[in-house]
Amino acid sequence: KKTADLINEKKIEGISYINDESDREGMRIVIILKRDATSNVVLNKLFKYTQLQNSFNVNNISLVNGRPRSLTLKQMISYFVKHRHRVILRRTKYELEQAKKRAHILEGLLVALDNLDEVIKLIRESKTPDEAKTGLIKNFELTEIQAKAILDMRLHRLTGLEREKIREEYKNLMNLIEHLNDILSNESLQMKIIRDELFEIKEKFGDERKTEIVPNVEEFDPEDFYADEDMVITISRLGYIKRTPLAEFRRQGRGGIGSRGGTTRDEDFLEHLYIASMHNTMLFFSKNGKCYWLKVYQIPEGSRTSKGRAIQNILNIEPNDFVRAYINVQKLDDEEYINNNFIILGTKKGVIKKTTLEAYSRPRQNGINAINIREGDELLEAKLTNGNHEIMMAVRSGRAIRFHESKVRPMGRTASGVRGITLGSGNDEVIGMVTVEEEKENILVVAEKGYGKRSRIGDYRITNRGGKGVKTLNITEKTGKLIAMKGVLDTDDLMIINRSGLAIRVAVSELRVMGRTTQGVRLINLKEDDSIAAVAYVKVNNEDEPENNSESSESPENEEK
């Protein structure tokens, strides 16, 4: 019933049916999962919230030498063995004493049996029992106990058969006495007896253990309660964040209207869109140059149309700051990994900085300074590299530069960085930074009025850092200024969100490769007063199927039809 209540309260999800099939043969609970449920996640939640797995704490208070003490399991066993050892010694000494007493009596009886005629004659001639006892002691050198045992012996013990029984009993007693003496003088033999007796008790009274004794019960990692699924993470201009399963976003053809990617206030709009898996660690980099840590599952989940939650309520971020870039990492505890990988930071004013990942491997609740931002500048991008990448930076005026990562030396975490690209005149600024390891990728550029294209990386010549770069898009009034630059493959999808909250997902393969200086093609139809807010690329799952681009879905109801 408790499990059913947890399912109804949605504390445990993914279960479609539960049935108790327990009978006299034993306990059996059958749980049927929903088609899309992750079995390990459901099982971990059952372990956590039900009595499917339980721990019992034991307060092991015992009297040790008359004083109460709290003992560990090992100490309890040690004291129990010592107790059993003392019991064996006391028991053996008692049995030895009793055996010696009995042997002493039997020795007297054997003397009487060996001198039967003289004993009978002495008893018959004695006037009283005391006189007979005194005569036995004097004539046969017996003790008072032996003499009394002879006088108390019944006549039937004088038969031949009984006489042999007495001799056999005496022989066995002497062997027993020898064995008991061996026990008292041999500690190994004493421990063997303890062991044998415990096994005897186990065989006689033991049954199968129904619980398991373990050194310690590890607390569940929060990751155990979440399937490692891909998520779309969106952040609005006013700092609202949420995660939505990637599967909720359908692929559409180029030029489609798009599906709603989020509901925002009138004065707000979606500005950042990221793709990450649930178990990843995300490094958030703010415009003021600070770095924060967060697991993806710690981000509140929301539907495509929900607003999300203020990021200030999740990260300890300053009121005048907001997130500009993030990096997915999975091995912050791997020394080799964090010392051989680097974080490249780029600012709007064209500054670039390189730092080892090790400098970001110790999460702090209040974040750390990632780069010293100069006055009037802001952090724009953060990328993870292995030291062998090439770096491309693009500016609003439509120019881009390409240079090798080795041109930027590693610096300390609080350094300001060096010049990556020289800006054009006016209000020019960097709009994107890409790192590539080989020329398999294409460069995708998008302008603010919905135009974009992809070009070969080889079309951009390698130069030294700090130059003005070459033209990457023919900027016109029709296209608007450059707003984004991404490195993409044919197998990727492109996710575009405009400032009114509409999202469109387009296959990169639908965009033909064009010359570096061309204007490009329309990627999304925008209203006259609308523009692009954010662009990201998506790794395609095998389950993704293209849909007819004539199907628009501005609400969840339209999508279900």
pLDDT in tens, 183-222: 999 999 999 999 999 999 989 888 887 766 666 656 666 6
Whether the predicted pLDDT of 484 surpasses 70: yes
Q: Pick 228-560's CATH classification: 3.40.640.10, 2.120.10.90, 3.40.50.300, 3.30.830.10.
A: 2.120.10.90
Distance in angstroms (rounded) separating the CA atoms of residues 48 and 220:
8
What's the whole-number average pLDDT of the chain? 83
Cα(510)–Cα(525) distance, integer angstroms: 16
Domains 75-205 and 228-560 share a fold: no
Q: Spell out the domain ranges in the chain.
A: 75-205, 228-560
- At 363-421, the pLDDT tens digits run 888 889 999 999 889 999 999 999 999 999 999 999 999 999 999 999 988 888 999 99
Q: Which uninterrupted H or E stretch holds 459? A: none
CB atoms under 10 Å from CB of 380, counted, come to 22
**DSSP summary character for residue 8:** H
Selection from 558, 543, 559 nearest residue 229 by Cα:
543
Cα 384 from Cα 404, distance rounded (Å):
14
- pLDDT of residue 538 exceeding 70: no
**Residue 61 pairs with which residues in a beta bridge?**
70
- At residue 544, the pLDDT reads 44
**pTM, two decimal places:** 0.56
Of 93 and 557, more confident? 93
pLDDT of 16 higher than 80? yes
315-343 mean pLDDT: 84
Residue with tokens 């061309």: 518
Nearest to 433 by CA among 405, 459, 475: 405
Q: For residue 326, what are the CA distances in angstroms to 288, 296, 458? A: 14, 11, 27
Instruction: Specify whether domain 75-205 bears CATH 3.40.50.300.
Output: no
Higher pLDDT, 491 or 67: 67
Residue 540: the pLDDT is 54
* Helix (H), strand (E) at residue 196: helix 187-205
Burial class (CB in 10 A: 0-12, 13-18, 19+), 264: buried
Residue 534 is which amino acid? A
Query: What residues contact 44, with CB distance under 8 A and at least 6 apart?
Result: 220, 224, 225
Q: Which DSSP category does 34 fall into? A: P
Write out the two tokens for 202.
Answer: 């186990």
The region that residue 466 occupies, defined by phi over 0 for left and psi between -120 and 50 for alpha, beta otherwise, is left
Residue of 161 and 431 predicted with greater confidence: 431
CA-to-CA separations, 423 to 349, 353, 434, in angstroms, rounded:
7, 17, 17
% of the chain at pLDDT higher than 70: 88
At 17, list the tokens: 């049916």
